[in-house]
Amino acid sequence: MLLWLKNLSAFTKSNNSWLFLQSDRRKFIQHLKRTYKAAGLFNPEFFLGVLHDLTNPELYPIACEWLRGDDLSEESMEALKVRSCIDSEDAAKNILANFGRISTQTQPIVLCFDNLDNIPRLSPDYQDFQSLFNINTTIHNSYLKNFLVIISIITDTWRRNSANIKQADKVRIDKAIKLKKINLEQVESLWAYHLKPLHQQANPQPTSAIYPFTGQFLAESFLSGKTLPRNALTLAKNEYQKYKLSLIDSSERPPEEDSGENVKLGIQIPGQPPIVITTTKPTNDPQTIAAEFELIWQKESKKIQEKISKITLLSAPDLIGNLKEALEALQVQGIKQKLISGKYAGYSLSYLQPGKRERVGIVWTEDSNMTSFFNIMNASLKAIQQQFCDILYLIRISNVGNGKLKGYQLYQQIFTGTENIHIKPKLSSVHVLATYHSLVNAALAHELVIGGKVIKLQELQKLVRESQLLGQCSLLQNLGIVTTVSTEEEKEEGRNKTIRDWRPVNNFLFNLVTTEKCMAVYTLISNCTTEFSDVSESDVKLLIQSLCEEKKVKIINTEKKLQDQLILLNV
């Protein structure tokens, strides 16, 4: 947003530079009010003031929270010089309209709605797409200008749900674009793009852009002349794995039994006629799938950790929704949404405690506004009095106020001298829940591919249970949903926090070799030091040596230089 602000016409076509106005809040507001006087901004003093606060490192976080519609504390609103938060649909529309009005001379603001198979459902078979298209119609019909709305939906999902969307809202779809299959020329270009980095390292250079594949192999693989991009990439990945293994001397790897599912891979060696190598079809064994899943989890987790730097960046409904998905994956029974009633119902849920008959209630709120906190505590007390749950957990890292506040007094009544418990969550727990939520979205959108297969939600849930990755979430441990067995080694590490836990690095190395089957040792080291920036090359070499001693992997060509050594799974 800051980059976008700097390029507004108010700064690019004015004698008043961005840096000059950034240093003076009053001049910043006055200049933009004059520039966009004819646009008719909603509450320009407050709105433009918050835009200026985005340039102040100290006010930036709460300015973002205000724009996001969070319930801010009185102190935060005073710091931003605003009288109220964005607490209604009309207020939200007016703020969006302001952005459109000041950006009429720039590219349109794009609102993209994706991964929609995880939106709330009206029934087991239908999702609430009507609400989404209400928004689209509102933007289309109202005073919101300069917006491009993109709604990405899987074709089958659209066919099932489109009949439930009002015709008036369908008319507001300006253009429908159906993604088509790609032809063989496009497949070849896709393969060439992914193979190019490898070709650049080869000596001599391959004569074909899709080496080690041939045009004949491409044509025989897709007899119709068309395919989906994912199918093209999955085929290439599987066949390239076979090609790598075919280059290893048979004495260096275990013999393969012919299961009757052999396939022929056309390979073009530079300067020689094409040859055909018969290899065995990949079996997608459980070990490989588990290893690939853990690598995907680790990659997604890293992205989540970079994106979510504090718990309050997620809204309470998002936090409670992520927790609900984890509980479902762990086969917790009797999950019900909205334990409390009223405006903050989406902040809560309940479930049956595993192994017990008691119903557990959860309320998760990080709203800093003490009026909101009072209302949530009041609704929680009513839920307890009405026996909607046997025990209540409040999940909240933010403060709960002081003795003068009614919300704090209710908090004390609920959690002092009772079985009800207040948990202060760790950011790492939110990272685990958000990582799983991201994979759930991918699975529901048919975008999660493991071992060349599109993974459905039920399969993802099974994988996450078998991997026990949700066991890393201390919040789930505190709730008694998952248990961890502390070894003597872990207890010792707990006493001495300076000891490095090498298990994630070790697992990454083993999982990568498991999925790749065979790879250059130097490439393995490079990938590991990229994934773990605080791990040195010498550390990785020692871990690889340890894996070799455990006979999990083995290195061939040990007499050659490191750059020429290969490592493969020791089957």
How confident is the model at residue 497, as a pLDDT? Answer: 53
Per-residue DSSP letter, 179? P
Q: Two tokens at 46? A: 């407050």
* Residue 65, Cβ density class (10 Å: 0-12 exposed, 13-18 middle, ≥19 buried): buried
Q: Is residue 498 part of a domain?
A: no
Q: Is residue 496 part of a domain?
A: no
- Residue 204's domain spans which residues? 187-282
Q: What is the domain-level CATH number for residue 533?
A: 1.10.10.10
Per-residue DSSP letter, 347? G
How confident is the model at residue 274, as a pLDDT? Answer: 38
- Indicate if 118 and 69 belong to the same structural domain: no
Asked whether 326 and 433 are in contact (CB, 8 A), the reply is yes
Provide DSSP, 350-402. EEEPTTS-PEEEEEE-----HHHHHHHHHHHHHHHHTTS-SEEEEE--S----
| Domain stops at, among 216, 248, 282 | 282
- Indicate if 398 and 298 belong to the same structural domain: yes
How confident is the model at residue 230, as a pLDDT? Answer: 86
Q: Which contiguous run of DSSP H or E holds residue 192?
A: helix 184-201
How far apart CA 349 and CA 347 sit, in angstroms, is 7
Contacts of 339 (CB under 8 A, 6+ apart): 345, 348, 349, 350, 361, 362, 363, 383, 388, 389
Q: What is the pTM of this model?
A: 0.83
- Indicate if 295 and 276 belong to the same structural domain: no
- Indicate if 448 and 305 belong to the same structural domain: yes
- Indicate if 406 and 449 belong to the same structural domain: yes
Tell which residue, 415, 333, 340, has the closest CA to residue 380: 340
- Indicate if 92 and 127 belong to the same structural domain: no
Q: Is residue 494 part of a domain?
A: no
How confident is the model at residue 570, as a pLDDT? Answer: 79
- Indicate if 384 and 340 belong to the same structural domain: yes
- Indicate if 98 and 113 belong to the same structural domain: no
How far apart CA 200 and CA 195 sit, in angstroms, is 9
- Indicate if 229 and 163 belong to the same structural domain: no
Spans in the chain with pLDDT lower than 70: 16, 249-284, 484-499
Q: Two tokens at 51? A: 């835009």
How confident is the model at residue 155, as a pLDDT? Answer: 86
Q: Is residue 559 part of a domain?
A: yes
- Indicate if 164 and 233 belong to the same structural domain: no
- Indicate if 266 and 140 belong to the same structural domain: no
Q: Is residue 561 part of a domain?
A: yes
Taking only the tens place, the pLDDT of each residue in 200-248 is: 988 888 989 999 999 999 999 999 999 989 889 989 988 888 888 777 7
Q: Which residue in the block uniquely carries the two structure tokens 């405006």? A: 343
What's the structural domain count of the chain?
5
| Domain stops at, among 71, 102, 133 | 102
Cross-strand bridge partners of residue 225: none
| Domain stops at, among 83, 102, 121 | 102
* Residue 283, Cβ density class (10 Å: 0-12 exposed, 13-18 middle, ≥19 buried): exposed
- Indicate if 163 and 25 belong to the same structural domain: no
